[in-house]
């Protein structure tokens, strides 16, 4: 049985699976995989549906990882179509999730159907690890699936994550690692008072502004061989004060650091806490800080599989993809704990945007790339 990547991509996009809703996307995918002979295990954690599907039982196990959840469409009236009723216009498949990353999943399933049609018996197994919790807080998806597979002693030998890695053209970029991410939620506590009597109060707004300037001006590093420089960005500043003649009692800010392999979450926390402690003390304020760590910096050292995939992409697209660690976080940060992994998918320039779309010809090329990867991997 052969599966069409375009048809399956459209069917998946029609499922409005905005995180944490599944809307039938996982079941649709499982139905298609079962038709190819996959053993499908639905693994639910709280309100999140996940899928681990496997074809074959022997080693090696080549795994494709991805997510069926999508970000909200925003104002639907701004779209040229209904975002969950996909349309092909001018060789572009338009719909929420087209780029990130339902069409990539469809390409891999189509590739497996073609590979299986030509290779009735192959030595090894093919698996798909699919979550519905990548665009959200990513707690009950791949992170817990990885722990589940460890408990089951399920071995994955190599993992390909189908995220949209290419900035503008298919074939430009393979991701072999990512920077780490840490979010800090800072509260500075002063003394509330009347604006006409500032000597009887202590305005925390003054202190938090000084602190934010200090941490923003930190030169964390200049980058490393494999990573761009670490950077800190202030993302929120808030003072919950409803009166114009009151000096507030507290001020809040949120910041995020994307850090390379020169740092760990622990080393950054120590550096920041020293600044908060010192500046709060000198300004006679108190502070409270809460951190959320999404993952540390990691790198999958290129091996023969990496170079094999790179050569296949070049052969089919005419472009030799750059091995990169740029961009945000992905579920590869969890998967790298159980297998070497890299990321390669479609073009990401319209992901999360109005009229998100992918080239239909790119879908055919990506299916061909994925099929060739399977053929080379198992031969």
Is there a single domain that holds both residue 187 and residue 286?
A: yes
Q: pLDDT averaged over consecutive 10-residue blocks of the chain (379 residues)?
A: 97 97 97 98 94 97 98 97 98 98 98 96 96 90 94 96 97 96 97 97 98 97 94 97 97 97 97 98 98 92 95 98 91 93 97 98 98 97
Is there a single domain that holds both residue 37 and residue 141?
A: yes
User: Domain boundary residue among 295, 310, 342?
Assistant: 295
pLDDT at 2: 96
Three-class DSSP category at 56: coil
Render pLDDT for 85-113 as a digit per residue (tens, 0 to 9). 999 999 999 999 999 999 999 999 999 99
| Domain housing 365 | 5-178+297-378
Query: How far is 169 from 317, CA to CA, in rounded Å?
Result: 9
Identify the H or E element spanning 161. strand 158-161
- CA 121 from centre of chain: 34
- CA 6 from centre of chain: 23
Active site residue 69: yes
173-175 and 322-324 strand pairing:
parallel
Please choose, from the candidates 109, 153, 131, the residue with its C-alpha nearest in 3D space to the C-alpha of residue 1. Answer: 109
pLDDT at 137: 81
180-189 and 250-259 strand pairing:
antiparallel
pLDDT at 294: 86
Domains held by the chain: number: 2
Is there a single domain that holds both residue 170 and residue 223?
A: no
Is there a single domain that holds both residue 146 and residue 109?
A: yes
Question: Which of these is catalytic: 5, 134, 356, 371?
Answer: 134
Residues 6 or more apart whose CB falls under 8 angstroms from that of 254 comprise 183, 184, 185, 186, 234, 235, 236
Query: How far is 295 from 281, CA to CA, in rounded Å?
Result: 31
CB 149 within 8 A of CB 156: yes
Joined together, the tokens standing for residue 113 give 């159907």
Is there a single domain that holds both residue 41 and residue 171?
A: yes
Query: Which position has the token pair 């053929």?
Result: 375
Query: How far is 39 from 355, CA to CA, in rounded Å?
Result: 35
Fill in the DSSP letter of residue 354: T
pLDDT at 97: 98
pLDDT at 328: 82
pLDDT at 136: 85
Is there a single domain that holds both residue 172 and residue 184?
A: no
Is there a single domain that holds both residue 251 and residue 332?
A: no
Active site residue 100: no
Could you tell me the CATH number of the domain that includes residue 270?
A: 3.30.70.360
pLDDT at 283: 97
Render pLDDT for 152-198 as a digit per residue (tens, 0 to 9). 999 999 999 999 999 999 999 999 999 999 999 999 999 999 999 99
CB 230 within 8 A of CB 179: yes
Fill in the DSSP letter of residue 228: P
Could you tell me the CATH number of the domain that includes residue 12?
A: 3.40.630.10
Is there a single domain that holds both residue 333 and residue 231?
A: no
List the alpha helices (DSSP H) in the chain. Answer: 5-13, 25-35, 103-118, 142-151, 204-216, 265-282, 304-317, 332-335, 360-378
pLDDT at 201: 98
CB 309 within 8 A of CB 344: yes
CB 140 within 8 A of CB 48: yes
User: Domain boundary residue among 251, 278, 295?
Assistant: 295
pLDDT at 141: 92
User: Domain boundary residue among 270, 295, 320?
Assistant: 295
Is there a single domain that holds both residue 59 and residue 173?
A: yes
pLDDT at 101: 97
Question: Which of these is catalytic: 5, 11, 22, 69?
Answer: 69
């Amino acid at each position: 049985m052969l599966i069409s990547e375009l048809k399956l991509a459209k069917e998946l996009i029609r499922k409005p699976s905005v995180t944490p809703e599944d809307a039938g996307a996982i079941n649709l995918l499982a139905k298609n995989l079962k038709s190819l002979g996959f053993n499908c295990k639905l693994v639910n954690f709280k309100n999140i549906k996940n899928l681990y599907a496997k074809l074959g039982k022997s080693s090696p196990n080549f795994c494709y990882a991805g997510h069926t959840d999508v970000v909200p469409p925003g104002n639907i009236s701004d779209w040229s179509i209904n975002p969950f009723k996909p349309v092909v216009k001018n060789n572009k498949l338009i719909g929420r999730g087209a780029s990130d990353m339902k069409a990539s999943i469809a390409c891999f399933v189509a590739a497996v159907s073609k590979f299986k049609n030509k290779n009735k018996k192959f030595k090894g197994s093919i698996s798909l690890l699919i979550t519905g919790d990548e665009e959200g807080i990513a707690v009950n998806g791949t992170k817990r699936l990885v722990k589940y597979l460890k408990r089951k002693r399920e071995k994955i030998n190599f993992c390909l994550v189908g995220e949209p890695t290419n900035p503008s053209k298919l074939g430009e970029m393979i991701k072999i690692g990512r920077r780490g991410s840490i979010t800090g939620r800072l509260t500075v506590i002063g003394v509330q008072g009347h604006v006409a009597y500032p000597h009887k109060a202590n305005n925390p707004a003054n202190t938090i502004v000084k602190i934010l300037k200090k941490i923003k001006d930190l030169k964390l590093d200049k980058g490393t061989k494999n990573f761009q420089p670490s950077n800190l960005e202030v993302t929120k500043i808030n003072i919950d004060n409803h009166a114009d003649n009151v000096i507030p009692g507290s001020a809040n800010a949120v910041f995020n650091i994307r850090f390379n392999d020169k740092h760990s979450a622990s080393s950054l926390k120590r550096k920041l806490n020293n600044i908060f402690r010192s500046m709060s003390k000198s300004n006679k304020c108190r502070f409270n800080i809460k951190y959320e760590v999404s993952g540390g910096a990691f790198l999958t050292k290129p091996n023969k599989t990496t170079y094999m995939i790179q050569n296949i992409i070049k052969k089919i697209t005419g472009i030799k993809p750059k091995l990169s660690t740029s961009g945000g976080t992905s579920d590869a940060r969890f998967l790298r704990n159980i297998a070497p992994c890299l990321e390669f998918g479609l073009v990401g320039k319209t992901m999360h945007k109005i009229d998100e779309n992918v080239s239909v010809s790119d879908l055919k090329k990506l299916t061909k790339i994925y099929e060739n990867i399977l053929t080379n991997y198992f031969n």
